[in-house]
Amino acid sequence: MDRSQWAPPWRPGPRLVSLVVGGIAAVLVFYPIVYLIQASLSVGDPQARPPEAYGLDNYAGLSRFAQIFWNTAIVAVVATVFAIILGFAMGWMLSRANVPGREALEQLMALPYYVTPLMGALAWSLIGSPSGGFLNQVWRALGGEGHLVDITTPYGIAWVMALFEGSVAFVMIGAVMKSMDPALEEASQVLGAGRLRTMLRITLPLVLPGVLGAAIFVFAEMLGSFSAALVLGLPNRFYVVTTAMYQLVSQYPPRFPQAAAMGVSLFAVMFAMVYIYRRIISRGSYVTITGKAFRPRAMDVGRLRWILFGVCLVYLAVAVLLPVLTLLYASVQRLATAFPRLDNFTLANYVTALSLDAVRSALWNSLLLGCATSILGVLLMSFLSWLIYRSRLPGAGVIEYLLMFPQAVPRLVFAFGMLWAWLVFPIPIYGTLWLLLIAYLTVFLPLGIRTISGVILQIDRTLEESAQMCGAPWGYRLRTVTMPLLRPGLIAAALLLFIASVRELGASILLMGPKAKVITPAIVESWFSTSTELTAAMALLQTLPVALALALLFAVARRALRPVGE
Amino acid sequence: MTVSPAPETRHAASIDVKDLVVRYGAVTAVRGVSFSVAAGEHLTLLGPSGCGKTTTLRAIAGLEKPTAGEIRIDGTVVYGAGSRVQVPPERRGLSMVFQSYAIWPHMTVFDNVAYGLRVRRESETAIAERVGWALDLVQMGELAGRSASKLSGGQQQRVALARAFVFSPSVLLFDEPLSNLDAKLRAEMRIELKELQRQLGITSVYVTHDLEEALAISDRIIVMRNGVI
């Protein structure tokens, strides 16, 4: 036999590549964290870099901020409870009850997530701020005293956050409910248990681990959330940890070490939460692992289904339609008021927004970054997903853990670490779009990898193995078999990354330079320093490309959902 | 349609498996299996599900990394625990038909079959000729342009078969290729497979849990149970 055909065992190619990629990922993820921790230990001159002296004083000093930690806990707990109730109710309705049009509704339930807490907070501030809120204007016009609702209270902030995170809770809990074999419920009914008894004794215990997992995940998200608390809390000097950190960093003189210490403590709590979450789902609820094919059937709930249908519509109206319409309404007025007057309408806000260089360049920068993040992100993340889930390399599990790490770090905290880290970086990228690009690619690693790996795992492994048996080396296989099969999933991931980066706030607000602004922080700045109406116009201008990408996403997702290989 | 004679084929190869052990964590799927297949012989590994026969086959293919033992193809060591040799599947020069067929849904029938030839950088005219020959042999000539996602189970099976032998591998491995077909089709395909093996004259290792199938197709049968012969 021709010896040249048999090269030495295992070319180093794939192994070396994965080592290099894993290494780069580790640097991206851990480099900022190291600097965050270093900053939190600095006890000398707060402006000095690197720190003059190390100590734990900043952590000891955190007791002065007890009120802020308490605020954070209250807001996060209330918002989580509310979001989980929302998600559980919607999840049950749309997967277990025969609500009319539930397939369409299920798709629409994802919308609130895309509206984002920032848009929601701006809109709800217009609706429910104690003095000028539309709802309170109407209340006073009807002869009421004071105000009917106050959205700037902790409960108001929690309400806004829950409305939008409810959609996430719905997706997580709905998936658990769907994976439950209806026969388990039917068996209970056949044995004579009523519907309520079945629900309490069978359904609830079976989905409980999934619900608990969702609750912890949502709670971690709430702890790290930023925008709603910023928009609604800042005017009242109501701070949560993230907004307090932002305040400490952006005030003069900035107090970096205290902010870093706060960030590290928040990160520690969130990390614990995400760890518990992963423990819960890795143990798996008993429901999901039957592996047997069954047809998800819905329970007939009779007349009640129309009521449930109405509940879903109300949720969508409050979380999607109302905020968008409110902003639209405010953006075409000279002075936003609840009572429309013909001479008050104007398009001047849009004209102003589009003629301001600052807004134009911010919008352009965001679109540019969105495209760059989605293209580079998909290339990078699909390669990483393939490495983790398909290459069977030793250490793939470690790489996965590493890449999912940013999920446990609030974006603002992460950005803070990057701020320090890249200031000392020899190549001057601080204050440029490059820094933001790196930040986006890092913080969206979990989002991208989860999306892409979901598609990868759907594709039967033998499809790749048979290419291997045909003699195709790994690069050739990747190009001819793996990539084409993944295409719909990859397009969906690209669109998701685009949407996520165009609307990113927590990391951008700290990292953008004065000469390279992006749109979301610009909207927040405008909210605090210029007119409400102009801000509303800017928010809608930002929504336009996002909505376009979203429409595309829904079209692609429907195609991507078609089973492959049939 | 007339079937042209087979283009020049590579010679059939022999296989030697010695003391093969495959372990996944705590589970030992194959515990010390040894057998040889002579060049041109048709061997069947027969046994109940979970007895380690598919794992043995995948180890020969190179898709599974054994824990111990040695595998030689045509005298060349492709896996050796002692010599730390592990030749990747794509360079072992063999081919395989999967239980799930693993037909790529995003390609046409023609492209599926042509894949192994394109990997080997054959000219397009040679590819057209070889693929035409292979598809005729499995009676799928008319469907060459069809999208592979629009095939029935039996048709997919034939395409998988054509794809596996079109590039004249020295060994063909079959992983329960007929188990997903209905009884009537299975009986038909059994006869066709037998005929194909005769025409191609290459070495084959066939895995099944169906005794009748094993008797119909092979020169020799090895029965496996609990990871041993």
Question: What is the ipTM, given to two decimal places?
Answer: 0.79
Q: Determine the residue of chain B that is closest to A484 in CA distance.
A: B106
Question: What's the CA gap between A347 and A537, in Å, rounded?
Answer: 9
Radius of gyration of chain B (CA): 17
- A145 CB near a chain B CB, below 8 Å? no
Give A-chain residues touching B96 at CB under 8 angstroms: 465-466, 469
- A251 CB near a chain B CB, below 8 Å? no
**CB-based contact B84 A472, cutoff 8 Å:** no
pLDDT band at A417 (very low <50, low <70, confident <90, very high): confident
**CB-based contact B105 A469, cutoff 8 Å:** no
Q: Residue A262 in contact with residue A244, Cβ under 8 Å?
A: yes
Task: Name the range with the highest mean pLDDT among A205-214, A395-404, A520-529.
Answer: A520-529
Per-residue confidence (pLDDT) for residue A5, from 0 to 100: 36
pLDDT per residue over B179-189, tens digit each? Answer: 777 777 777 77
Least confident of A173-187, B26-40, B203-217: A173-187
Question: What's the CA gap between A284 and A398, in Å, rounded?
Answer: 20
Q: Output DSSP code: residue A70.
A: H
CA-based nearest distance B227→chain A, Å: 23
CA-based nearest distance A110→chain B, Å: 29
Q: Give the relative orientation of helices A348-355 and A357-389 as an angle to the nearest 10 degrees.
A: 70
Q: Any bridge partners for residue A345, and if so which?
A: A333
Q: Determine the residue of chain B that is closest to A475 in CA distance.
A: B119
Least confident of A3-7, A115-119, A480-484, B149-153: A3-7
Domains of chain A (ranges plus CATH)?
A: 70-346 (1.10.3720.10), 347-566 (1.10.3720.10)
Sequence-distant (≥ 6) Cβ neighbours of residue A535 within 8 angstroms: A122, A523, A526, A527
Question: What's the CA gap between A480 and A255, in Å, rounded?
Answer: 54
**CB-based contact B86 A5, cutoff 8 Å:** no
**CB-based contact A468 B63, cutoff 8 Å:** yes
Residue B131: C-alpha distances to residues A277, A342, B2 (Å): 52, 74, 14
Give B-chain residues touching A7 at CB under 8 angstroms: 91
Relative to beta strand B94-97, strand B15-24 is: unpaired
Give A-chain residues touching B163 at CB under 8 angstroms: 466, 470
Give B-chain residues touching A469 at CB under 8 angstroms: 61, 63, 89-90, 94-96, 164, 173
pLDDT per residue over A46-75, tens digit each? Answer: 666 677 778 788 888 888 888 999 999 999
pLDDT per residue over A223-261, tens digit each? Answer: 888 889 999 988 888 999 999 999 988 888 888 888 889
Question: What's the CA gap between A419 and A280, in Å, rounded?
Answer: 34
Residue A564: C-alpha distances to residues A268, A313, A560, B148 (Å): 41, 33, 9, 11
Q: Average of pLDDT values for A547-556? A: 84
User: Mapped to the 3 state alphabet, what secondary structure does chain B carry?
Assistant: CCCCCCCCCCCCCCEEEEEEEEEECCEEEEEEEEEEECCCCEEEEECCCCCCHHHHHHHHHCCCCCCEEEEEECCEEEEECCCCEECCHHHCCEEEECCCCCCCCCCEHHHHHHHHHHHCCCCHHHHHHHHHHHHHHCCCHHHCCCEHHHCCHHHHHHHHHHHHHCCCCCEEEEECCCCCCCHHHHHHHHHHHHHHHHHHCCEEEEEECCHHHHHHHCCEEEECECCEC
Give B-chain residues touching A2 at CB under 8 angstroms: none
Q: Residue B96 in contact with residue B164, Cβ under 8 Å?
A: yes
**CB-based contact A9 B86, cutoff 8 Å:** yes
Which of A1, A471, A485 is closest, CB to CB, to B76?
Answer: A1
